[in-house]
Chains A and B, each alone.
Chain A
Amino acid sequence: MTEPTSDLLRFATVGSVDDGKSTLIGRLLVDTRQLFDDQLEAVATASAKRGVGDLDLSFVTDGLRAERDQGITIDVAYRYAATPTRKFVIADCPGHVQYTRNMATGASTADVALVVLDATKGLKEQTRRHLCIAALLGVRNVIVAANKMDVAKWDEAVYFAVVDQVNEVSARLGFTSSVVIPVSALAGDNVVDPGFMANWYQGPTVLQALEAAPAGSWASSSSGARLPIQWVLRQHGGGRTYAGMVNGGEFTVGQEVTLMPQGVKTVLKAINGPRGGLEVALPGLSVDFDLTDETDAGRSDMLATAPLPTSTNEFEATICWFSDKPLTDGARLRLKHTTRSTPVRVTGIAGTLDVGTLEVGPASEIALNDIGLVHLATAEPIVVDNYRDNRVTGSFILIDEVTNATVAAGMIGHANFL
């Protein structure tokens, strides 16, 4: 396991529309004084203009004209915050079913999911869908804000009903931690400042939970080290080095590495990092490698250490489908995996996930926003790890060959709960 950095936490908001995700992020940013005076003033002006009170906190992230006019989040907003102990990259995601692809975009790079739900309404189907997607994407830690506790009159029973529901799904989806916090995003209780309305609650505020959550888990991996080659650099004097970004584990000068899919073994002669030569290349670093032997390595190939990835043309995968046109057996698309693009064909649809029951049932096609299990065959071999072991070499996207639109997020293998 490699933990590249612990001072930066990436998290995404998750949950159904109108449960208060954007308001909570607005509250978090305002109460930790992340907003500049002019930005705060602009939010106040925009609120007054639309008659939605003195300060509509959702306008902090809902920055598009249509979002403010309609009072909804359409696409992910990224915000950056820093407290004395930690830096945050925040992805405030939309809740609507039709924007699931945008939610997946925001959650695909998150270490932690901040689940927001309306405590008076409980865990809705859309919240379960988001939780499934977050779990599929490999999120292991969730922080749950049981929001609108002001509406619930801070009733303890309402909170504990949410806790029970969350614990049940959490166990099924395999989250390793799921703290549930009673919150009023609107009033600010238990977001940054503790809530005095709930003397029965002794746990952390949302900010405390975020500051305590394990960072860097996105890049954690149980595979060997991997370098998908992006580019071959010609060195002065005729040599070549192989450039890319390290993932999965670390490379060390002098180490034996395998060029995949060729299966050729060689030795790592030197590592150049952005700031000069290195003995060790850690995950997340863009480097170029000098190898001891002459090889025919190029873009799309991969350098790897044991345990080695698999080179394959046929594999099972879990996908999240984003196109209006359902995916059917036999469909032809393009696949991008690490730095390789290759034609791909669907050779079988094993089923789709019912997010209500969390059971996989038989299906003949995969519809918009469905999660499905498929068998794929690629024209060129791809060099993969199971997504559970490595998020970089285990993930791919599917692309429509005519429009070039990205139509699916794919993960090699399937999650434990499927």
Chain B
Amino acid sequence: MSTSTHPQIDHLDLLESHAIFIIREVVAECERPVLLFSGGKDSAVLLHLAVKAFAPQKLPFPVMHVDTGHNFPEVLAYRDERVATLGLRLEVASVQEAIDQGRVPDPGPLGMRNQLQTRALLDGIEKHKFDAAFGGARRDEDKARAKERVLSFRGAFGGWDPKSQRPELWQLYQGKVNSGENLRAFPLSDWTELDVWNYIRRENVPLPSIYFAHERPVLKRDNMWLAVGEFIHPQHGEVVERHLVRFRTVGDASCTGAVRSGADTLDAIIAEISVTNVSERGATRADDRFSETAMEDRKREGYF
């Protein structure tokens, strides 16, 4: 290992170290942690940090993909590559399976499935008796997330009660839960979107290719560019166009929008994000546009 002669530390170093500290605390205090891995950039950074926290040991817990069944093929390939390269144990909590078994109503083959993720997530947690789930959520993403603790206590139904959160003082993270209850842990709470991208660039964190500009067929729906493919077909009057696009977030392929962009390198992406006028979720998530408190409502039901 090389030795640094410049012991100065910057903002990214402190965010990184704090996240590693949180991950180690949760793993030390909880019986059965799991890391929620969607293949998106935030969970990619989270995984990178978790691996660092325990190196050279192997990751002492599995990762779980809450799979809506509407995946970008590039993201699935990326997930499997990461799992193989890092020697991870992967669990899949499948929305399709929940639909097939009648645990959730079938929204139809092209219906939006982000709402159904909650059921699959809670079932996955219960099945494996996980008592702590790491997520890559950041407080700058949404006004409800801005209110959530780093360790978010969830009762027997997995729901978030924003009116009675545990006090969380200093850096004393308290992860004790009774059986049947669980904890969501958000080590990236204090990171901004720009911090995540700067860190990805500094650390060379691998990402799915769809984060970088590429040409693909898209159509405009609800003022958002959706990728035409297995889950999105043109409907009455919608026109399929080819554009240079990239994805700013990665979620369910049927409701994650692309942005028109020529940014095909990390430098270009960071330059683009530094001057944007639109928030990450505002630009790319159809599911958050329908109601003022969409995220809060989903969290109350047990969402990430």
- Determine if A75 and B165 form an interchain contact, defined as CB atoms under 8 angstroms apart: yes
A66 partner, pick from B163, B169, B176, B192, beta carbons under 8 A: B163
Task: For the complex formed, measure the closest distance between the CB of A381 and the CB atoms of chain B, giving whole angstroms.
Answer: 18
**Residue contact A276 to B170, C-beta cutoff 8 Å:** no
Closest to B279 in A: A36
Q: Which residues of A contact B282 (CB under 8 A)?
A: 36-39
B110 contacts the other chain (CB 8 A): no
Q: Which residue of B lies closest to A322 (CB)?
A: B167
A263, chain B: closest CB distance, angstroms:
24
User: Does chain B have a CB within 8 A of A336?
Assistant: yes
Q: At the interface, yes or no: A327 with Cβ under 8 Å from chain B?
A: no
B54 and A233 contact, CB distance less than 8 A: yes
Q: Chain B: interface secondary structure?
A: loop
Q: How many residues of B contact A (CB 8 A)?
A: 62
Bound together, the chains give a CA A65 to CA B291 distance in angstroms of 11
The reply to whether B5 and A64 form a contact with Cβ atoms under 8 Å apart is no
Write out the residue numbers on chain A whose beta carbons fall within 8 Å of the beta carbon of B166: 405-406
A399 touches B176 (CB 8 A): yes
Known: A45-B292, A339-B25. A278 touches B7 (CB 8 A): yes
Provide the residues of chain A in CB contact with B163, threshold 8 Å.
66, 74-75
Query: What is the bound-complex CA distance between A101 and B16, given in angstroms?
Result: 27
Contact of A5 among B11, B146, B296 (CB under 8 A): B11
Residue among B7, B169, B292 making CB contact with A46, cutoff 8 Å: B292
What residues of A have a CB within 8 angstroms of the CB of B9 in the complex?
4-5, 282, 284-285
> In the complex the two chains form, what is the Cα distance from A399 to B166 in whole Å?
10
B2 and A276 contacting across the interface, CB-CB below 8 Å: yes
When the two chains form their complex, are residues A105 and B17 in contact, meaning their CB atoms are under 8 A apart?
A: no
Q: Provide the bound-state CA to CA distance between A230 and B8, in Å.
A: 23
Q: Determine, out of B99-107, B114-122, B136-144, B234-242, the stretch whose residues face the partner at the interface.
A: B136-144
B85 part of interface (Cβ distance < 8 Å)? no
> In chain B between 226 and 260, which residues have their CB closer than 8 angstroms to a CB of chain A?
none
Bound complex: CA A309 to CA B16 (Å) = 27
Other-chain residue from A7, A278, A299, A396 in contact with B172 (beta carbon distance below 8 A): A396
Contacts A275-B4, A276-B1, A278-B4; A109 near B11 (Cβ below 8 A): no
- A156 to B: closest C-beta gap in Å: 37
* With contact pairs A5-B11, A276-B4, A404-B178 given, residues A409 and B167 touching in the complex (Cβ less than 8 Å): yes
Q: Which of B24, B25, B139, B278 contacts A38 (CB 8 A)?
A: B278
**Across-interface contacts of A350 in B (CB, < 8 A):** none
- Minimum C-beta distance from A286 to chain B (A): 4
| Chain B residues with CB below 8 A from A8, complex form | 11, 14
Is the CB of B147 closer than 8 A to any CB of chain A? Answer: yes
A336-B172, A392-B171 are known contacts. Are A273 and B14 too (CB-CB below 8 A)?
no
- B272 located at the interface, meaning its Cβ lies under 8 Å from any Cβ of chain A in the complex: no
Bound Cα distance from A236 to B55, whole angstroms? 10
The distance from the CB of B271 to the nearest CB of chain A, in whole angstroms, is 16
Q: Which single residue of chain A is at the shortest CB-CB distance from B146?
A: A77
A203: interface (CB < 8 Å): no
B293 touches A65 (CB 8 A): yes
**Which residue of chain A has its CB nearest to the CB of B172?**
A397
Judge whether A61 is part of the interface by a CB distance below 8 angstroms.
Answer: yes
Q: How far is the CB of A78 from chain B (nearest CB, A)?
A: 5
Among residues of B, the one whose C-beta sits closest to the C-beta of A397 is B172
Contact A63 B167 (CB under 8 A): no
Question: Chain B nearest CB: distance from A259 CB in Å?
Answer: 18
Contact of A113 with B by CB under 8 A: no
Which of the residues A77, A230, A272 comes within 8 Å of B21, measured between beta carbons? A230
B1 and A277 within 8 A (CB): yes
* B18 interface hit (Cβ, 8 Å): yes
Task: Report which residue of B169, B276, B293, B296 has the largest number of chain A beta carbons within 10 angstroms of its beta carbon.
Answer: B169
Contact of A64 among B16, B21, B144 (CB under 8 A): B144
A395 touches B189 (CB 8 A): no
* Complex alpha-carbon distance, A104 and B53, angstroms: 29
Point out the residue from B25, B165, B177 that lies within 8 Å of A102, measured CB to CB. B165
Give the docked Cα–Cα distance between A4 and B21 (Å): 17
Per-residue interface assignment for chain B, residues 285 to 304, with 1 indicating a CB less than 8 Å from any chain A CB and 0 otherwise: 00000001100100000000
Using a CB-CB cutoff of 8 Å, which residues 156-186 of chain A contact chain B? Answer: none
| Among candidates A102, A277, A284, residue contacting B4 with C-beta atoms closer than 8 Å | A277
Confirm or deny: A80 has a beta carbon within 8 angstroms of a beta carbon on chain B.
yes
In the bound complex, do residue A36 and residue B11 qualify as a contact, i.e. CB atoms below 8 Å apart?
Answer: no
CB-based nearest A residue for B7? A280
- Do residues A101 and B167 form an inter-chain contact, with CB atoms below 8 A? yes
Give Cα A281–Cα B3 distance, bound, in whole angstroms: 12
Q: Indicate whether A79 sits within 8 Å of B146 (C-beta atoms), given known contacts A36-B282, A65-B293, A230-B28.
A: yes
Contact with B along A24-53 (1 / 0, CB 8 A): 000000000000111100100110010000
When the two chains form their complex, are residues B146 and A78 in contact, meaning their CB atoms are under 8 A apart? Answer: yes
Q: Are A409 and B13 in contact (CB under 8 A)?
A: no
**Please, could you name 9 A-B residue pairs with CB atoms under 8 Å apart, sorted by A?**
A36-B276, A61-B143, A75-B162, A89-B190, A276-B3, A286-B24, A339-B28, A341-B29, A392-B171
Closest 8 CB pairs of A and B: A63-B143, A38-B282, A286-B17, A280-B7, A36-B279, A286-B20, A277-B1, A101-B167
Q: Knowing that A236-B56, A275-B13, A279-B3 are A-B contacts, what are 13 other residue pairs whose CB atoms are under 8 Å apart, sorted by A's residue number?
A: A5-B14, A7-B11, A8-B11, A38-B282, A42-B292, A63-B142, A63-B296, A64-B143, A80-B140, A276-B4, A282-B7, A397-B172, A406-B167
